[in-house]
Structure 1
Amino acid sequence: MTSFKLFKAGQFSPLSAAISVATTVQSFAHRHPRRVSAAVLTVLAGSAVTAFGVSDLGALPQGPAPVITQITETIEPSQLAEQVQAVDSQSLTLYRSELTRPADTVDSLLKRLGVDDADAAQFIRHDAVAANLLKGRTGKAIKALVEDGRLRELIVRGPAGDGDNETHFTRLTIERTANGFTARQQIVPLEVRQQLVSGTIQSSLFAAADDAGMPDAVTTQVAEIFGSDIDFRRELRKGDTFSALYEAHAADGEPITWGHASGKVLAARFINKGETHDAVWYQESGRKGAYFDLTGKSKTRAFLASPLAFSRVTSGFAMRFHPIQKTWKAHLGVDFGAPTGTPVRSVGNGVVSFAGVQNGYGNVVQIQHNGDRTTVYAHLSRIDVRRGQRIDQGDRIGAVGATGWATGPHLHFEFKVNGKQIDPMVIARASESLQLSPQSLGAFKKVATTVAQRLNQASDWHTAGAQTGPRFE
């Protein structure tokens, strides 16, 4: 029981109280004369400053003396002892997450999960279904419910089969029951969810994408989408920003860690040197889907900017010191550094005019396009087309290699107009683009307006510093 008391008027003497206070002050002054002097000066200075805002209290009417009444109230404290005992009696259940590793055994995996349970380990080793835990690919996502070191439930999510099944996943569940452990395995559809992410360039596109939590596959798509608008080799600037709305695959509501975790980019924005570039995925009835800007103009042009999926460029269209001839000369093409075997694609529709070996070019393919335009692909490790074959934009024509006069694996690429080499980026930007039909333009603009609002939202989050990674939509 706790009591609070207020004293009635008359239960103490004002005179005795004043004498007591005076005695205390006098004692303090003798012991600390300098502190008292400083305090007095401070009070006087404060009084001087505030005097203009203080009224003449003597002019105010004096009211009756206050009546002070003693009040005693009993307060019952909370039943803390009982609450502490109730919390202490509750069992502690741990929920842990892990990924399977190549060198995992049943014991090593259970140890990382905080499981010290011989019965569980024995069951997983000998049960035909539970043994699938460590079969197949590594990188499976594991969730475990553990109580005092004993396994209560283990859920394993991984790919459905050995292939990259993009529609389903395998869920393996191991549970402890009154009669021992049970195991069951199910094939479950993957969820397709939308994620929104933004980032700012500090050094490179991929570094900024990693900081923003954007998967490499999405980053590559973004670079491909804007490849004809932005020269990522020479025009990327610190402070450029990007946003992307893309499909993400989830298993039981959690992002997957295997296969194609991310899908198609649905919309993207890239602000380069203050200029905004937008792209929205849209599919007209009866036609292939494509990316369009907010006005309905296709981002797909007659020629791609690169014969490789987005990669680093080792030697651009400019003067260079030739690594073999040891002289400075014009490099009338672009060299793309990439591992041997990297697929090489045609940058536009055309017909193969040459496919074979050509001196310093090694294995080379030439494609004739409309309007006296020709493309050359050199140093190939293999050739996958033949002379006279008709090729569509994006078709594979060979693979990166180091044949001919090459110091290492790379692709030498040239774009010629009337036999004269031209910078491929200039051609890509000047090439024709498609337009949506008038019948589809109205519906597209409604979609584009909604998407633009979501990209604006992503940019706002990023600017405010509130976004720490992709957001599910």
Structure 2
Amino acid sequence: MKIPLFTASQAFALRALQVLEHHPRKLTALVAALLLGGGGGAFAVASFGPDPAEMPVREVVEAVQPLPLEPQVEALDVHNLRLFRSEVVRPTDTVDTLLARLGVSDPAAAAYLRHDDVFRTQLLGRVGRTVTVEANDQHGLDRLTARWAPEDDGQFRRLVIQRVAGGTFVSRIETAPLTASARLGSGTIRSSLFAAVDEARIPDEVAVQVADVLSSSIDFHRGLRRGDRFSVVYETLEADGEPMRTGRVLSLEFVNNGRTYTAMWFQEPGQKGGYYTLEGKSLASAYLASPMEFSRVTSGFAMRFHPVLQRWRAHLGVDYGAPTGTPVRVVGDGVVEFAGVQNGFGNVVTVRHNHVDTTLYAHLSRIDVRRGQAVTQGQRLGAVGATGWATGPHLHFEFRVNGQHRNPLQVARERPSRELSAGARPAFERVARSMRMQLAAAAASSLMASAE
């Protein structure tokens, strides 16, 4: 008996609904059979895989014995909590107050530190030094570390006090090299250079160096203008990642009254290093512009009313006002010609630089050199005082050429400086390109910070 096509289609539709309801995976095979079977003929439903519903199910039951809790608790106790904390030494600190701020409560450690000579001499009373401790979960001291750099020799000292077996402590001093890293900074003059570096969180030592490097080009006492701006790249010397001191200014750009000045540190192989403009012109002079690191000129090279003699007379030098004890440095290489007391000058040092030039430093509170001693540019030779005919602490500085007094503020600008050799030019250009990029980054970061 033949089944009409209409009847076959109805039968297929009915079968498809049955398959969809009970066996969804077989619907695809059914549709494929329809497409391959043409317009008529018989239809078959085939399965391409076993039906999960028809597969046998097996249940597995296994007993699990949990571990005892006591060994687990003991294992957790092995991992004791370690506490780390750092504090900066304060002027009034004692062993007890310092340990209390560090979160350490350990009578045995406190007793040990009271009798440790290095701890007492190198930390107590050393304002600003950082102390780091490692304590246990009972707040007992396990390890104490402190670092300092006593000399400018590229090294630092590390004090380590550690608990050893038996609960006792041992102390040792280690020496290691400082690590130099470069930092960027930028600021704008609103009142003074020091206020600008403070606002930009740049160390004061950087401001001193900036004024020193550009002193022959910019008058940092009276020539700064509101809105002047600067960018600087400088070194920070670190010990175990902790900043110890400020290093050398590597490069700087200073815009003063609309004019741009640049400087970069560079050292030729076998030569003494110095500062140059980014175009390669040396900024080093035979003489420093000032015998002091950025001080206030209280009396210039001119006629003045003498405060002691109470009459007008020529002032043959320059006076720098500064607190007693402020370091005084020699402005150029030379030999100490005189060191002692000299009439109204009080404590005075005279240095001969060559066959024509001599400098004089008067009213010193202390003399740190002796007659006949060779000195180098920038070396400390004494400290500011008020000895002799002085109404207050200041430095009186003179510059003489063939015995004739000259204005010290002009001499540094007149003395020729060394030039960059042709052989060093390629290396200089490579460093200069890098410094230009870093200075641009410093300036850009300042603009972004001010825009926020």
TM-score of the superposed pair, with normalisation by structure 2: 0.68
Paired with 2:348 and 2:317, the residues of 1 have a C-alpha distance of 14
User: Is the contact between residue 173 and residue 184 of structure 1 (CA under 8 Å) also seen in structure 2?
Assistant: yes
> How is 1:243-262 mapped onto 2 (pairs within 5 angstroms)?
243-256=231-244, 261-262=245-246
1:430 aligns with 2:414: yes
Give, in angstroms, the shift of residue 373 of structure 1.
Answer: 5.0
1:225 aligns with 2:203: no
1:15-70 superposed Cα distances (whole Å, 9 cap, x missing partner): xxxxxxxxxxxxxxxxxxxxxxxxxxxxxxxxxxxxxxxxxxxxxxxxxxxxxxxx
1:270-318 superposed Cα distances (whole Å, 9 cap, x missing partner): 2221222211111111111111111212111122211223222222334
Name the amino acid aligned to 1:112. Answer: R
Percent identity (aligned): 49
Question: What residue number does 2:262 align with?
Answer: 278
1:320-374 superposed Cα distances (whole Å, 9 cap, x missing partner): 4432233455534210123445444433355667666655444545556669555
Larger RCO (CA within 8 A; separation ≥ 6)? 1
Q: 1:153 to 1:366 in 2, by over 3 A?
A: closer
Match of 1:202 among 190, 194, 200: 190
Paired with 2:347 and 2:240, the residues of 1 have a C-alpha distance of 49
Question: What residue number does 1:67 align with?
Answer: none
Paired with 1:312 and 1:272, the residues of 2 have a C-alpha distance of 19
> How is 1:65-464 mapped onto 2 (pairs within 5 angstroms)?
96-115=85-104, 117=105, 120-126=106-112, 134=120, 136-137=122-123, 138=126, 139-144=128-133, 150-151=139-140, 155-159=144-148, 166-170=154-158, 172=160, 174=162, 185=172, 187=174, 189=176, 190-256=178-244, 261-349=245-333, 359-367=343-351, 373-381=357-365, 384-386=369-371, 392-396=376-380, 398-416=382-400, 421-464=405-448
Give, in angstroms, the shift of residue 224 of structure 1.
Answer: 1.3
**How much is the aligned-residue C-alpha RMSD, in angstroms?**
3.9
Paired with 1:396 and 1:127, the residues of 2 have a C-alpha distance of 36
**Matched position secondary structure for 2:363:** strand
Gapped runs of 5+ residues in structure 2? Answer: 1-79
Give, in angstroms, the shift of residue 188 of structure 1.
Answer: 5.8
Name the amino acid aligned to 1:187. Answer: E
Name the amino acid aligned to 1:270. Answer: F
Paired with 1:130 and 1:165, the residues of 2 have a C-alpha distance of 26
User: Is the contact between residue 142 and residue 154 of structure 1 (CA under 8 Å) also seen in structure 2?
Assistant: no
Name the amino acid aligned to 2:287. Answer: F
Paired with 1:351 and 1:274, the residues of 2 have a C-alpha distance of 41
User: Is the contact between residue 113 and residue 120 of structure 2 (CA under 8 Å) also seen in structure 1?
Assistant: no
Paired with 1:402 and 1:359, the residues of 2 have a C-alpha distance of 13
Larger Rg: 2
Q: 1:365 to 1:158 in 2, by over 3 A?
A: closer
Name the amino acid aligned to 2:310. Answer: K
Gapped runs of 5+ residues in structure 1? Answer: 1-90, 469-473
Paired with 1:405 and 1:101, the residues of 2 have a C-alpha distance of 39
Paired with 2:451 and 2:164, the residues of 1 have a C-alpha distance of 40
Q: 1:227 to 1:151 in 2, by over 3 A?
A: same
Q: 1:106 to 1:427 in 2, by over 3 A?
A: closer
